[in-house]
Amino acid sequence: MRLQAPRGTSDQLPDDQTYWDLVRGKAAQVASTFGYRRIETPMFESADLFERGVGSTTDIVEKETYTFEDRGGDMLTLRAEATAPVCRAYLQHGMHSLAQPVRMFYVCPVFRYERPQSGRYRQHTQFGIEVIGEADASIDCEVIEVGWRYLEAVGLSGLTLVINSIGDAECRPAYVELLKAHYSPHREEICEDCARRIDRNALRLLDCKNAQCQSFIEDAPASADNLCADCESHWEDLRRYLEETGIEYQIDHRLVRGLDYYTRTVFEISPPEEGRMVTIVGGGRYDGLIEQLGGRPTPGIGYGMGLERVIQNIQRQEVPTPADDRARVMVVHRGDAAKTAGVRIASQLRRDGIAATLAPPRGMRAQMRYAASSGATHAVIIGDDELAKDVATLRDLGASAQSEVPLAELASALLT
C-alpha cells in the first residue's frame, strides 16, 4: 500500500456517516436545547495561545502540538484543544459586552501528536461547550448535564459521572503544600514519575497508576476536604444542584486533570467498560484562564468530548441508529430511448424532492442488482412498453411488488 492517510488519522467513509450524522446532529440539538450557540474557530492558532492557555509544562504543549512556522515566519499550532481558542475569540470579539454568561458549543477537529491506540488519534473530533462569564455552581451543574443528556440522547447507557473540586488560587497552594508534605517523606518508596511530580506538578500525584503509589494516594489529603470557604460552598452547591437533575455521580478525590487552567469543579464521564475505562467527556471550571490570556478576571467552565469515542461506544453497545425510510429511487432503463427518458424522469423526481439515481448503462439484471445493493427502496423501470403508454413500472424492492404508474403520478406515488 503506497499512499495512506497519515498515522493516527482516518477517513470517515460513506458507511461511517450514519454515526457521524447521529453524533453531530444530536450535539447541535441538545446544545441548543440548553441555549448554547455554535462557534467555530480556526483550525490553527498562534502557538503562543496554547502555551499561555493550556500551560507550557503540560504534556499537550510540551510534546504533542503540531507547531510550524508559516511562510511569513509566524509560529502556528494546529488546534490542540478548543477551550483556549474559544476564550481567545471571546476576548477578541468583546463578548464580555454581551449578556453574561455566554454559552457556546462547537464540533471541531483537534490535533495532538500522540502514539495512536484504541480511542486515541492524532486528529480527533471534539464536541465541546463553554460557558463564560458566570461562576455560579448552577452553571457547573448545567454543563455536566449537557454532556450527560447528550450521551443519553445518542443512546449510550451505563455511564459513570465522576466529580471533584480542586480549589482555586485561594486554597489550592496550601493544599498542594499539604500534598507535598504527605509525599516528601516517601520519595524513595514511590515511582520515579511521582518523585518528579512532587516538585513539578503535585496534583498529578493523585492519578498515578503504579501499584507502589496506590497506598500513598489512598492516604493522601483530599483537595475537596481542604477548600477555602468560597470553594467549599461552591462545591456544596454543585452537589445540591446535581441532586436536582437526578444524575448520579461519584466523588473521586483522585480526579485531577491534565490542563493547568482548571479550578474548582473537574469532572469526567466514562463508559461501562470492564478493565480500562477510556474517558468520553472531560471538563472543568477555568476561572483564571481568561485573565491568563489578557482579559479581565472572568469565570468560565466547559467540557470536551471525543466523538470518535462516542461512536466507538455506540458500536460497542450496539445502539440502533435511526433508519432513513425516505424513498430512494433507481431509474432502470432498457434501450436508448428509455435511457433518455430515464434522464428526464430522474431529473424530475429530484425536483419533486425524491432521491433518484439513473442506473448504469448495463443489462437490466445488472441494473436491478445495482439498485438492490445501493440501498434503493424502489426501482422505476422504463422500456419501450412504458414509453408507449407514458407510464413507468414502479417496483417496491422491499415488498417485491410492482405496478404501472402514469409518469405524472410517479412522485406522488413515491411520497405516500
Task: List residues binding RNA (CB under 7 A).
Answer: 1-2, 4, 6-8, 10, 58-60, 64, 81, 112, 114-121, 124, 126, 193, 204, 207-210, 257-259, 268, 276, 278-282, 304-306, 308-309, 334, 362-366, 368-373, 379, 381-386, 393, 395, 397-398, 400, 402
Minimal distance in Å, beta carbon 310 to RNA?
9
Residue 243: strand, helix, or coil: helix
Minimal distance in Å, beta carbon 249 to RNA?
16
Closer to RNA at the Cβ: 89 or 305? 305
C-alpha atoms less than 13 angstroms from C-alpha of 21 in its C-beta half-sphere: 10
Q: Which of 235, 190, 238, 196 is nearest to 215 (CA)?
A: 190
CB 314 within 8 A of CB 19: yes
Phi, then psi, of 92 in degrees rounded to 5: -60, -35
Closer to RNA at the Cβ: 136 or 201? 201
Minimal distance in Å, beta carbon 240 to RNA?
25
Residue 244: strand, helix, or coil: helix
Minimal distance in Å, beta carbon 233 to RNA?
27
Closer to RNA at the Cβ: 121 or 249? 121
Query: What is the distance between the alpha carbons of residues 15 and 10, in angstroms, rounded to a whole number?
Result: 13
Minimal distance in Å, beta carbon 404 to RNA?
9
Closer to RNA at the Cβ: 10 or 348? 10
Minimal distance in Å, beta carbon 184 to RNA?
19
CB 119 within 8 A of CB 278: yes
Query: What is the distance between the alpha carbons of residues 178 and 205, in angstroms, rounded to a whole number?
Result: 12
Closer to RNA at the Cβ: 147 or 167? 147
Q: Which of 395, 358, 403 is nearest to 377 (CA)?
A: 395
Closer to RNA at the Cβ: 98 or 343? 343
Closer to RNA at the Cβ: 98 or 366? 366
CA distances from 300 to 137, 249, 402 (A): 11, 22, 61
The side-by-side arrangement of strands in the sheet containing 44-46 is 44-46, 75-78, 67-69
Residue 361: strand, helix, or coil: coil
Phi, then psi, of 11 in degrees rounded to 5: -90, 140
User: Count of H helices and E strands in the chain?
Assistant: 15, 16
Minimal distance in Å, beta carbon 344 to RNA?
17
Type of residue found at 89: A
Phi, then psi, of 185 in degrees rounded to 5: -65, -10
User: Cell 473530533 identifies what position?
Assistant: 125
Closer to RNA at the Cβ: 96 or 186? 186
Minimal distance in Å, beta carbon 171 to RNA?
22
Bridge-based pairing state of the strands 75-78 and 67-69: antiparallel
Closer to RNA at the Cβ: 132 or 330? 330
Type of residue found at 301: I
Query: What is the distance between the alpha carbons of residues 132 and 33, in angstroms, rounded to a whole number?
Result: 18
Bridge-based pairing state of the strands 300-306 and 44-46: unpaired
CB 42 within 8 A of CB 152: no
Minimal distance in Å, beta carbon 334 to RNA?
5
Closer to RNA at the Cβ: 232 or 357? 357
Contacts of 396 (CB under 8 A, 6+ apart): 377, 378, 402
Minimal distance in Å, beta carbon 97 to RNA?
29
Closer to RNA at the Cβ: 71 or 209? 209
Query: What is the distance between the alpha carbons of residues 164 and 378, in angstroms, rounded to a whole number?
Result: 55
Minimal distance in Å, beta carbon 393 to RNA?
4
